[in-house]
């Protein structure tokens, strides 16, 4: 695999994050995907568990406007490391986030394993 495959997956991820569409979210993952949004979390397995995790966050942030970009920083076979930048531009959470994702893809460009680290920088003033 190459960086373009991971970048394409992340573009779909960003679109699903904006759309809040459960079908788009589920389509990102294999049936046995492990999704961990925290490196200390055991995570959840499969789209039927991943989608409710996402939807809970969407409910909390549904009024937020954001900008999201990414850069693939490393690829080793079917595992990629992606750096992400997310800025909430309107709403109650005007914060900047820097994320690091470790993503394992299958041959259909679906995620088998997702692990995320994130850091927040609050805006002042």
Helix (H, G, I), strand (E, B) or coil at 27: helix
pLDDT exceeds cutoff 60 at 120: yes
- What local confidence, expressed as pLDDT, does residue 54 receive? 83
Cα torsion angle, 76, 114, 90, 23, sign: positive
Q: How many domains does the chain have?
A: 1
Q: Rounded mean pLDDT of the chain? A: 88
Q: What is the DSSP string of 28-58?
A: TEEEEEEEESSTTS--EESHHHHHHHHHHHH
Domain residue limits at 15: 3-122
**Residue of higher predicted confidence among 36 and 87:** 36
| Per-residue model confidence as pLDDT tens digits over 21-80 | 999 999 999 999 999 988 898 999 999 999 998 888 666 555 667 788 899 999 999 999
The pTM score is 0.86
- Cα distance between the two ends of the chain: 44
Cβ 84 vs Cβ 11: under 8 Å: no
CATH code at 80?
A: 3.10.450.50
The tokens for 124 are 């002042």
């Amino acid at each position: 695999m190459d960086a373009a495959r991971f970048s394409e997956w992340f573009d779909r991820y960003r679109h699903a994050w904006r759309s809040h569409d459960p079908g788009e979210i589920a389509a990102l993952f294999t049936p046995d995907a492990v999704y961990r949004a925290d490196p200390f979390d055991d995570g959840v397995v499969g789209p039927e568990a991943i989608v409710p995790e996402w939807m809970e966050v969407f409910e909390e942030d549904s009024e937020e406007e954001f900008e999201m970009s990414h850069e693939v920083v490393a690829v080793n076979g079917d595992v990629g490391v992606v750096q992400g930048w997310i800025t909430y531009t309107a709403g109650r959470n005007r914060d900047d986030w820097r994320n690091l994702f470790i993503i394992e893809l299958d041959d259909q460009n679906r995620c088998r394993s997702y692990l995320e680290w994130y850091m927040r920088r609050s805006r002042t003033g």
